[in-house]
Amino acid sequence: MPSSRQAAAGTRPKRRRRFRYGTLVTILVIAGLVAAAWFARASIITFFNSAADRVVDSSAHNPTGLTASSSADGRGPELAHDGFSDLSWAPAPTGPAVGEWLAATFDAPYRLVAVQISPGASVEQADFLAQARPSTMLVTTTDAAGQTQDIRLKLADEPGPQRFDVGVDDVVAVQFTIEGAYGASPDTHVSVAEVEFIGR
């Protein structure tokens, strides 16, 4: 029988290096986490922006221009952002006025955290009910790169400001398009007392 090999006296036998599977698993896990973070980066950014919207101070942003698709006599678009709740913008057509719009532009891009809409002609109940009120509005934001984003809002049929969180970056313009109305008739105009823009 062949004799087994033995290390010479005074020397250490060489050990075979074993591959450490734990190291490979660690590398694969780290690579997987990095890849997941890369592909989910948009969601991660959105999450942090939404969290910041709740904790970072926001302020009112005043538009530099207000325009509308049309206006009833004495009911121009500037009345939708004049600080008075008993003056309002109303489109020229009576009835539901679907497709009529009010638009605001800004001189510098900012993150639009929320919009605040006061539907109706006034916060006083009698005057509020005397005119039609928007029930659904399509908010279209435009950013500094010209990209648009649509957000559909359902308004309650009650006087006073209603806040809607939107969270859109680099906004330079916002358009409100009427898609439905409460109390619309051939004798009433859909009215919007105030629109406000909250951002940071």
Helix (H/G/I), strand (E/B), else coil: 120: strand
- From residue 152, give the alpha-carbon distance in Å to each of 20, 140, 177, 180: 56, 9, 9, 11
Q: What's the pLDDT score for residue 29?
A: 78
Helix axes 21-39, 41-55, angle to 10 degrees: 60
Q: What's the pLDDT score for residue 12?
A: 60
Residues 174 and 88 in one domain: yes
Residues 89 and 139 in one domain: yes
46-55, 109-118, 190-199: least confident range:
46-55
- Reference 112, options 68, 163, 160; nearest CA is 163
Inter-residue contact 94 to 189 (CB < 8 Å): yes
Q: What's the pLDDT score for residue 10?
A: 58
Grade residue 103 by pLDDT with cuts at 50, 70 and 90. very high
Q: Which domain holds residue 27?
A: 21-55
Within a domain: 139 = yes
Burial 71-95 (b: 16+ CB within 10 A, else e): bbeebbbebbbeeebebbbbbebbe
Residues 140 and 45 in one domain: no
CATH of the domain at 176: 2.60.120.260
The CA distance from 197 to 112, in Å, is: 7
Q: What's the pLDDT score for residue 102?
A: 98
The CA distance from 140 to 35, in Å, is: 33
Domain count, the chain: 2
Inter-residue contact 190 to 113 (CB < 8 Å): no
Over residues 172-193, the pLDDT tens digits come to 999 999 999 999 999 999 999 9
Residues 6+ apart with CB under 8 A from 112: 61, 141, 166, 167, 168, 171, 174, 197, 198, 199
Look up the pTM and report it: 0.74
Residue 95: pLDDT over 70: yes
The CA distance from 152 to 35, in Å, is: 34
Over residues 51-60, the pLDDT tens digits come to 565 656 789 9
Helix (H/G/I), strand (E/B), else coil: 7: coil
Residues 50 and 112 in one domain: no
Residues 31 and 107 in one domain: no
Higher pLDDT, 24 or 197: 197
Inter-residue contact 79 to 101 (CB < 8 Å): no
Over residues 19-57, the pLDDT tens digits come to 566 777 778 778 777 776 677 666 555 555 565 656 567
Inter-residue contact 188 to 97 (CB < 8 Å): no
